[in-house]
Amino acid sequence: MQNLEFNRNEDWMKLLISNKKQKYEIIKLGGGKKSMAKQAERNKLTARERIEYLIDKSSNFIEIGAFVGYEMYEEQGGCPAGGCVAGIGYVSGKQCVIVANDQTVKAGAWFPISGKKNLRMQEIAMENHLPIIYLVDSAGVFLPMQDEIFPDKEHFGRIFRNNAKMSAMGITQIAAVMGACVAGGAYLPIMSDETLMVEGNGSIFLAGSYLVKAAIGEDIDNEILGGADTHNSISGIADYKFKTEKECLDYIKTLMGRIGENEKAGFNRIKSYNSFKDAKEIYGIMSENNLKPYDIVEIIDRIVDADENGNSSFDEFKKDYGKSIVCGYARVDGWAVGIVANQRLITKTANGEMRMGGVIYNDSADKAARFIMNCNQKKIPLVFLQDVTGFMVGSRSEHSGIIKDGAKLVNAVANSVVPKITIIVGNSYGAGNYAMCGKAYDPRFIYAWPSAKIAVMGGDAAAKTLLQIQVASEKSKGKLVSEADENELLNKIKDRYEKQTSPYYAAARLWVDDIIDPIETRKLISEAINAANHNPKIEEFKTGVFQV
């Protein structure tokens, strides 16, 4: 299907991916090469080395939150990956959540975004009933920002509350203390099922030796105060001790290997026949800067399986109705899924009306709501592919009840009980973000392509609106605003707004779990459903009251 435009689009997407990879390589360095060298001097592995050693060889590790903290806290020296490395991997054949403090970043101290990331990982474990492994090496709360991480409902202390809740839910929690574990953070390993410590480096205490001296005048070193020997032979707080980190990680593998199988949700899966079309061709389908229409079905066909006859497994629902949203059943790596995707093609209705792509119209909202209800009825996980500029506006839409139909779709998404996986492939603007299962609507997992843009409205429209407000404000004060001044102000507003709409801005704040290479979409959907399948509890689907 390649042509000149395809090649131009492909170059643009590959450039975005290359830029993402370059940023990621810097993030992987954590606090820098010098800090990593100091870890090695103390016979300690880095957070990423610990995870690499722990997970099964040749298995998938799906990193979550790699770009958390990106370009944030620059006055404090930054917080790469939120000061911890986390994701979903396989240990002794068991899919699990892994969270590893990165001691090279401010001694593993917790910034506000670190707390949000750790809570997100616990949320994933709780929603999907996955075991969780904590690799602990942290100096505790980053004190200069304690007011933003300590007291609130979604702050540091919520982690220990979640420890207790997960224990009650029967979710396995294993904590390996490989470095410092101080103050409030000392509760995490003790509230886990089993606590492992590494001799010489691992320590657990509510207050370190300096604070003990200041508080009660006692002279004591950290090892005697709360080292591995102390907590294994005196306090009884820890369960096992090991001379090296690798011995400790090996025993985690042993513990994970003993975990029995639980009941599954039972989402349907058959033999996979690979993707229907070459996934790499996705690169050339979306136009540069997402300015031109394209057929979303072409992207769907490069994500979904072929069937046993070599045809696409995508079975479109109400194909000729509500064309600005495409819905249908398919297989992804063998898993049955329901797909809800924005269509960017300009379409024509039966009465000749031309419709813009990426906009949600009344009939599209009605169709998507009905399809989502069908998937809930059949216990089929939902995949949302977002490239939406919002709902259609104007008198015709308002008089036709666009708000009512939009509310119907939002209601169906909000009350959906099957797992929802959201991929933001292009625009994600305004209420379209909500209706297509944005972060606020509890997708089990949400990813963005490097081409994604997330905002209340498009950059040009927003910038011109903000410009009008600022110019009117200046004029009300009796100030003259020249055309040159307006253009300069407009460019400044655009630059600021464009930065805020980028996928990196979103990923830094965990509005998305990660920025992904489009050809990884299929694998990530499959791993997400596999994770969701571990939770057997699916509530009854109820939509409550809405206007029909």
Rounded to an integer, what distance in angstroms lies between the CA atom of residue 197 and that of residue 219? 24
pLDDT per position as a tens digit, 498-512: 888 999 999 999 999
Rg (CA), the chain: 26
Phi, then psi, of 15 in degrees rounded to 5: -65, -40
Tell me the mean pLDDT in the region 397-419. 88
Please classify residue 24 by burial: count the beta carbons closer than 10 Å to its beta carbon, then call 0-12 exposed, 13-18 middle and 19+ buried: middle
The pLDDT assigned to 358 comes to 87
For the chain, give the mean pLDDT: 92
Check: CB of residue 139 under 8 Å from CB of residue 108.
yes
Token reading at 227: 């080292």
Tell me the mean pLDDT in the region 34-50. 94
The pLDDT assigned to 548 comes to 59
Token reading at 223: 């090892």
pLDDT per position as a tens digit, 337-383: 999 999 999 887 777 777 888 899 999 999 999 999 999 999 999 99
Tell me the mean pLDDT in the region 323-327. 96
Task: Give the β-pairing of 132-138 and 173-182.
Answer: parallel
First-last CA distance in the chain: 43
Report whether pLDDT(41) > 70.
yes
DSSP 222-275: HHHHHBHHHHHHTS---SEEESSHHHHHHHHHHHHHTPPP-------B-----B
pLDDT per position as a tens digit, 52-99: 999 999 898 999 999 999 999 999 999 999 999 999 999 999 999 999
Collapse the DSSP code of 186 into the 3-class scheme (helix H, G, I; strand E, B; otherwise coil) and give the result. helix
Say which residue the tokens 């979903």 belong to.
Answer: 88
Angle between helix axes 459-476 and 483-501 (nearest 10 degrees) is: 140
Distances from the Cα of 105 to the Cαs of 88, 177, 249, in angstroms? 22, 17, 22
- What is the percent of the chain where pLDDT is above 70? 97
Tell me the mean pLDDT in the region 192-196. 96
Distances from the Cα of 408 to the Cαs of 56, 232, 337, 413, in angstroms? 44, 57, 21, 9
Least confident window among 298-302, 451-455, 461-465, 511-515: 461-465
- What is the percent of the chain where pLDDT is above 90? 70
